[in-house]
């Protein structure tokens, strides 16, 4: 599409869709600054509302996607939308996000645990008690030792890709290499089958939020299959895997040993869920818009392509099946600081001025569904305020960038940019931006299912990549440390710090903020660190996006959950008429 066509689309969207930046997993009040209220109308269904009403029990829900799952093993699952899929359908965690539209979706509620945990020793010890009568798919009991075992698995060097919170927070975990060699972690105690006690290196006030992550779901040691566990996790949730043909189809059926009485979050409306993978381009969008036959029972994953929104707006009946939910995520151009030329701070500063962020917004569907990012922290983690410490024009300043490159003695640079297949248009926009300052960019695309693992190989990582980061729960502590703390970098399975940024002053300040007991003081310190990092330029913030969500005509109970970065909440989605969704 040409820039003019994008501009026309943006104007049409702006007239219909007026969503603010809003919070993904922070700002539970959902107010202040640039954050729009949850009642702001989207392109059809009201933002914060439930599309299709309340589902009926039964039938087959179809999920259409262009990608296979990166990981379903809960020790390795750390990617939107796969965390949503895993923790809503296949396994439960100690706590979880409430299943409600709007700001309430960021609230934390008990899941396997009876409450949000009890802290002691100034927040360094956390104790959780499991609900009574919890069972796996084969009817065997879920025990506290199973949660301990999965947390231990997250330390295993062979089981890469998962959340790092246990590694960062648990005492005596620095040299631990997981349970596959027979060793166990002393900082997790299970005095009985229903009690689990975590001993932390330092106080963590939001540990109740931390245990929403898949790391804190149960895996019995008897089911251990190493890396093969990815293909068949043992269910503690409402569904179990009937079949899984990688890259083609995943079929879930009911876990008859899941007890609704123990689960206040998941409703498990469909009898079966069929995920069809490998659907290219906007074909899934087109099928759901048309809603012919079985596609009336379908949703897409992860979300509708922004280019497809223009097909929806002229049709009032279709608009009613679409909404665009806000996220707390920031998309960035990561600069690999571990190799030339981006080991030079002056070259990195030049990139800040060279990138045309308006072109990124245009490539992603226009300003009605995307906003130019002016800082690493999204407004949802800065009290709704849009921080802009460097005051760089949204379209960049090529002359300033060229002057900085000349000052660094680096002209006529040649670099590679690796992106997921769906981000090729955005990569080409970066390529065009940098060509204006004398930087030649070669664009490489990777299949979405392999993208995370490709970037996680630090020795072979590209000079540039486009990716995003969302907070795992409402705290800047789940954002900046994972992006820019050099101690989180792994040789294989590296996540978050794709810039491979190692800066001692930054790490020291992160430790100081982590030790703060005053939440307001810590929030101010994170904002200041964000400003300091913008000046050091390990990455270029590009945009803050929203999720356009589309469902078939027979789908009900659909809404974007702010706790899962605006994804459709799979805990409560189902069909209006199950008889039309048999499969």
pLDDT score, position 10: 36
pLDDT score, position 276: 97
Residue 24 in this model has a pLDDT that exceeds 70? no
pLDDT score, position 34: 30
Two tokens at 148? 């301990």
Listed residue (345, 319, 310) closest to 532, CA to CA: 345
Q: Measured between alpha carbons, how far is 101 from 326 in angstroms, rounded to an integer?
A: 11
**pLDDT band, very low/low/confident/very high, at 56 (cuts 50, 70, 90):** very high
pLDDT score, position 2: 30
Q: What is the mean pLDDT of residues 458-464?
A: 93
Residue 97 in this model has a pLDDT that exceeds 50? yes
Residue 31 in this model has a pLDDT that exceeds 60? no
Can you say whether residue 530 is alpha, beta or left, with left for phi > 0 and alpha for psi between -120 and 50 degrees? Answer: alpha
pLDDT score, position 474: 79
pLDDT score, position 36: 29
Range from 33-42, 70-79, 390-399, 544-553 carrying the lowest mean pLDDT: 33-42
What does 22-72 look like in DSSP terms, one character per residue? Answer: --SSS-TT--STTPPPTT-B-SSSBTTS-BTSSPBS-SEEEEEESS--S--
Q: Name, in order, each residue with C-beta under 8 angstroms of 110's C-beta and a sequence gap of 6 or more.
A: 94, 95, 116, 131, 264
Can you say whether residue 198 is alpha, beta or left, with left for phi > 0 and alpha for psi between -120 and 50 degrees? Answer: beta
pTM of the model: 0.80
Range from 88-97, 272-281, 366-375, 478-487 carrying the lowest mean pLDDT: 366-375
**pLDDT band, very low/low/confident/very high, at 475 (cuts 50, 70, 90):** confident
Residue 319 in this model has a pLDDT that exceeds 70? yes
Q: Name, in order, each residue with C-beta under 8 angstroms of 356's C-beta and a sequence gap of 6 or more.
A: 394, 395, 396, 429, 432, 433
What does 285-334 look like in DSSP terms, one character per residue? Answer: HHHHHHT-GGGGGEEEES---GGGHHHHTT-HHHHTTEEEEE---EEEEE
Decide: helix, strand or coil at residue 552. Answer: coil
Q: Measured between alpha carbons, how far is 371 from 278 in angstroms, rounded to an integer?
A: 29
pLDDT score, position 18: 32
407-448, pLDDT tens digit by residue? 999 988 999 999 998 899 999 999 999 999 999 999 999 988
pLDDT score, position 510: 96
Most confident of 186-200, 310-324, 544-558: 186-200
Q: Measured between alpha carbons, how far is 519 from 298 in angstroms, rounded to an integer?
A: 43
Residue 12 in this model has a pLDDT that exceeds 50? no
Domains identified in the chain and CATH numbers = 327-545 (3.10.105.10)
Q: What is the mean pLDDT of residues 359-381?
A: 89
**pLDDT band, very low/low/confident/very high, at 47 (cuts 50, 70, 90):** low
215-234, pLDDT tens digit by residue? 999 999 999 999 999 999 99
558-579, pLDDT tens digit by residue? 999 888 888 999 999 999 999 9
pLDDT score, position 583: 60
Residue 366 in this model has a pLDDT that exceeds 70? yes
Two tokens at 179? 């349970």
Residue 16 in this model has a pLDDT that exceeds 90? no
Residue 279 in this model has a pLDDT that exceeds 80? yes
- pLDDT top residue among 123 and 141: 141
**pLDDT band, very low/low/confident/very high, at 487 (cuts 50, 70, 90):** very high
Listed residue (394, 353, 359) closest to 373, CA to CA: 394
Q: Give the chain's mean pLDDT.
A: 89
Q: For the packed helices 519-536 and 345-354, what is the interaxial angle rounded to 10 degrees? A: 90
Q: What is the mean pLDDT of residues 37-63?
A: 73
Provide, rounded to the nearest whole percent, the portion of the chain with pLDDT above 70. Answer: 91
pLDDT score, position 486: 96
Q: Measured between alpha carbons, how far is 272 from 582 in angstroms, rounded to an integer?
A: 9
- Classify strands 464-469 and 413-420 as parallel, antiparallel or unpaired: parallel
**pLDDT band, very low/low/confident/very high, at 26 (cuts 50, 70, 90):** very low
pLDDT score, position 46: 55
Q: Name, in order, each residue with C-beta under 8 angstroms of 231's C-beta and a sequence gap of 6 or more.
A: 72, 244, 246
**pLDDT band, very low/low/confident/very high, at 3 (cuts 50, 70, 90):** very low
**pLDDT band, very low/low/confident/very high, at 381 (cuts 50, 70, 90):** confident
pLDDT score, position 44: 55
pLDDT score, position 5: 33
Q: Measured between alpha carbons, how far is 308 from 282 in angstroms, rounded to an integer?
A: 7
Residue 30 in this model has a pLDDT that exceeds 50? no
Question: Does residue 110 contact residue 93 with C-beta atoms inside 8 Å?
Answer: no
pLDDT score, position 45: 58
Burial of 386 (0-12, 13-18, 19+ CB in 10 A): middle
pLDDT score, position 238: 98
């Amino acid at each position: 599409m040409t820039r003019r066509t994008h501009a026309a689309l943006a104007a049409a969207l702006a007239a219909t869709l007026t969503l603010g930046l809003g919070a993904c997993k922070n700002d539970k009040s959902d107010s202040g600054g640039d954050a729009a209220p949850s009642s702001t109308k989207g392109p059809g269904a009201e933002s914060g509302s439930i599309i299709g009403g309340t589902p009926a029990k039964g039938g087959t829900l179809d999920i259409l996607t262009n990608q296979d799952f990166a990981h379903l093993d809960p020790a390795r699952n750390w990617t939107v939308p796969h965390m949503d899929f895993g923790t809503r359908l296949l396994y439960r965690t100690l706590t979880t996000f409430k299943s409600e539209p709007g700001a309430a979706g960021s609230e934390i509620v008990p899941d396997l645990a009876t409450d949000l945990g009890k802290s002691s020793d100034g927040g360094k010890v956390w104790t959780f008690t499991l609900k009574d009568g919890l069972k796996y798919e084969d009817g065997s009991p879920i025990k506290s030792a199973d949660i301990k075992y999965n947390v231990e698995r997250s330390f295993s060097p062979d089981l890469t890709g998962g959340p790092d919170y246990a590694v960062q927070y648990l005492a005596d975990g620095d040299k631990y290499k997981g349970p596959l060699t027979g060793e166990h972690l002393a900082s997790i105690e299970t005095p009985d089958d229903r009690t689990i006690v975590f001993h932390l290196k330092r106080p963590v006030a939001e540990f109740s939020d931390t245990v929403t992550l898949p790391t804190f779901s149960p895996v019995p040691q008897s089911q251990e299959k190493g890396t093969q566990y990815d293909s068949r996790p043992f269910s503690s949730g409402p569904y179990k895997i009937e079949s899984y043909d990688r890259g083609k189809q995943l079929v879930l059926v009911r876990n008859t040993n899941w007890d609704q009485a123990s689960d206040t979050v998941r409703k498990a409306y469909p009898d079966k869920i069929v995920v069809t993978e490998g659907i290219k381009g906007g074909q899934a969008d087109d099928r759901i818009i048309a809603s012919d036959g079985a596609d009336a029972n379908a949703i897409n994953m992860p979300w509708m392509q922004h280019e497809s929104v223009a097909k929806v707006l002229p049709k009032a009946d279709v608009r009613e099946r679409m909404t665009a939910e806000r996220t707390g995520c920031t998309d960035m151009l990561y600069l690999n600081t571990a190799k030339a030329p981006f080991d030079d701070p002056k070259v990195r500063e030049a990139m800040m001025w060279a990138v045309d962020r308006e072109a990124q917004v245009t490539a992603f569907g226009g300003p009605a569904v995307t906003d130019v990012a002016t800082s690493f922290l999204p407004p949802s983690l800065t009290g709704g305020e849009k921080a802009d410490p460097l005051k760089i024009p949204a379209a960049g300043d090529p002359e300033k960038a060229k002057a900085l490159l000349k000052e660094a003695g680096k002209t006529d640079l040649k670099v590679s940019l690796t992106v997921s297949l769906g981000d090729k248009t955005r990569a080409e926009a970066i390529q065009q931006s940098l060509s204006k300052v004398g930087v030649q960019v070669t664009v490489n695309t990777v299949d979405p299912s392999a993208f995370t693992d490709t970037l996680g190989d630090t020795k072979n990582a590209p000079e540039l990549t486009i990716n995003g980061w969302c907070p795992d729960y409402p705290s800047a502590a789940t954002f900046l440390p994972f992006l820019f703390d050099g101690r989180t970098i792994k040789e294989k399975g590296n996540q978050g710090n794709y810039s491979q940024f190692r800066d001692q002053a930054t790490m020291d300040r992160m430790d100081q903020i982590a030790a703060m007991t005053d939440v307001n003081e810590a929030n101010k310190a994170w904002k200041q660190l964000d400003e300091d990092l913008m000046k050091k330029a390990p990455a270029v913030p590009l945009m803050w996006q929203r999720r356009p969500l589309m469902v078939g005509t027979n789908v009900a109970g659909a809404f974007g959950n702010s706790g899962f970065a605006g994804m459709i909440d799979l805990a409560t989605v189902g069909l209006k008429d199950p008889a039309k969704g048999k499969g």
